[in-house]
Amino acid sequence: MRKVAVIGAGMTLFRRRLMETPKELCFEATRMALDSAGIELKDVDAVISGSAPDGFDGVHMKGEYYSDGCGAYGKPYMRVFVGGGTGVFSAISGWYHIASGLADIALVVNEEKMSSCQPHPQSVFAHIWDPILDRPLKPNLIWIFAMEMNRYMTVHKIKKEDIALVAVKNKRNAVDHPCAQLADPNITVDDVLNSEVLAWPVQRLDISPPSDGAAALVMASEDAVKRLHVETPVWMKGVGWCIDSTMWTDRDLYFPEYVARAAKMAYKMAKIDNPRKQIDFAEPYDPFDYKELHHMEGLLLAKKGEAPIMTREGVTQRDGDLPTCPSGGLLGVGNPIAATMGVKIGELYWQLSGQAGKRQIPHEIKTGVTNAWGDLMQYGAVAVMGV
């Protein structure tokens, strides 16, 4: 397999409601990514896009609908979709287009516009449940998070205060992100614990907001990196993905085994045998605060049940030993599902190439890991990136 690097990235503001259409958002992010890589569309061999359920937009074949905004016209093009996992998986798809030798330079463009769906995108999320076993119970998507969070907390005897620390850290980190929707420099653990109970144990400030936004990457082969004289390529060192049983009521929800399998696949490719020592920082997928902890354990960065302890001890702060969600994550920057690529793969790129501005981790970093999580709690996509 050929080596693959990220050589440019772009993203729009993440907001509850943006005026631009999906294709306009795609264009803005894609144009930024091309400019940041110093190339033009004619240099691009293939285009990959990612977006979450068509239902948000009310347009099926969404990948075709916004394809012109992705720069896809006249080129090999595909849309990938693995639920919330799309934010990392579409970059993995970009990787295999290049690693295989099929393309030298590929664009990866992810878009989400959740505000079009009325009265609330929850009405569309209702359609991801099993129509016969689950849907007659009129489930709300937050239920699955609440059930998983409760199982995780109960098995490890974790206090809500320790989970709330993640929301506080990420919403404060997001103050330094120019695209952030829910940054708050003054938020406290008490604010989280006193926020409205939505589906116990999930409270309002445990959750990332629905958002509109887009993000894009330019990925390149080693040959292209040399040819373009890229000064700060960030290499895709390892990738992994895995799906668990679709019968989600038959699994113990306290540990994401599928994330661990995807992580092991990525670490093996990246020649990492001790992730806690060899990984310098992480962007675990954090749609809810407990998910950052759950994913740190799935990514083998913490022993089972110990991610909350690391958080309490300050290890995961931006200046800590294992900075985690230095971007501000989904909790602080926003959660336009597939477009969260901008705070996951995008953040790894900006941090490792020294372009993260006020968010820059203050000590030397060489290797980072990120993941995204999707479908009905069973899809894991993991990427290790480094310089």
Q: For the segment 140-159, give every residue that binds another protein (CB under 8 A).
A: 140, 142-143, 146-148, 150-151, 154
Selected from 39, 91, 163, 330, the binder of another protein by CB under 8 A is 39
Hey, what amino acid is at 88? V
- Among 238, 168, 188, residue whose Cα is nearest residue 4: 238
Residue 48 parent element (H or E): strand 46-50
- CA dist 111 and 52 (Å) reads 8
The smaller minimum CB distance to another protein, of residues 317 and 355, is found at 355
N- to C-terminal Cα distance for the chain? 18
Spatial contact of 184 and 169, defined as CB atoms under 8 Å apart: no
Selected from 53, 71, 83, 201, the binder of another protein by CB under 8 A is 201
Task: Count Cα neighbours of 251 within 13 Å in the Cβ-side half-sphere.
Answer: 19
Examine residue 334 and tell whether it contacts another protein (CB under 8 A): no
Rg (CA), the chain: 19
The smaller minimum CB distance to another protein, of residues 239 and 365, is found at 365
Binding window for another protein (CB under 8 A); candidates: 37-45, 164-172, 185-193, 299-307: 37-45
* Nearest distance from C-beta of residue 276 to another protein, angstroms: 28
Selected from 4, 5, 37, 224, the binder of another protein by CB under 8 A is 37
Handedness of CA 308, 321, 235, 50 (dihedral sign): positive
Question: 11: which 2 tokens?
Answer: 């993203």
* Nearest distance from C-beta of residue 322 to another protein, angstroms: 25
* Nearest distance from C-beta of residue 42 to another protein, angstroms: 16
* Nearest distance from C-beta of residue 252 to another protein, angstroms: 6
Give me the 170-189 binding string for another protein, x by CB under 8 A, dash otherwise.
--------xx----------
Hey, what amino acid is at 365? I
Question: 70: which 2 tokens?
Answer: 């992705």
Examine residue 387 and tell whether it contacts another protein (CB under 8 A): no
Cα three-residue angle 275-146-122, rounded to 5 degrees: 110
Binding window for another protein (CB under 8 A); candidates: 61-69, 120-128, 160-168, 293-301: 120-128
Residue-wise DSSP of 148-182: HHHHHHHHHT--HHHHHHHHHHHHHHGGG-TT-SS
Binding window for another protein (CB under 8 A); candidates: 42-50, 196-204, 275-283, 358-366: 196-204
- CA dist 121 and 64 (Å) reads 22
Question: 318: which 2 tokens?
Answer: 């931006």
Binding window for another protein (CB under 8 A); candidates: 36-44, 93-101, 257-265, 366-374: 36-44
Give me the 279-308 binding string for another protein, x by CB under 8 A, dash otherwise.
------------------------------
Examine residue 119 and tell whether it contacts another protein (CB under 8 A): yes
- CA dist 222 and 226 (Å) reads 6
Selected from 5, 6, 18, 383, the binder of another protein by CB under 8 A is 18
Give me the 225-254 binding string for another protein, x by CB under 8 A, dash otherwise.
----xxx-------------xxx-xxxxx-
Residue 143 parent element (H or E): helix 141-156
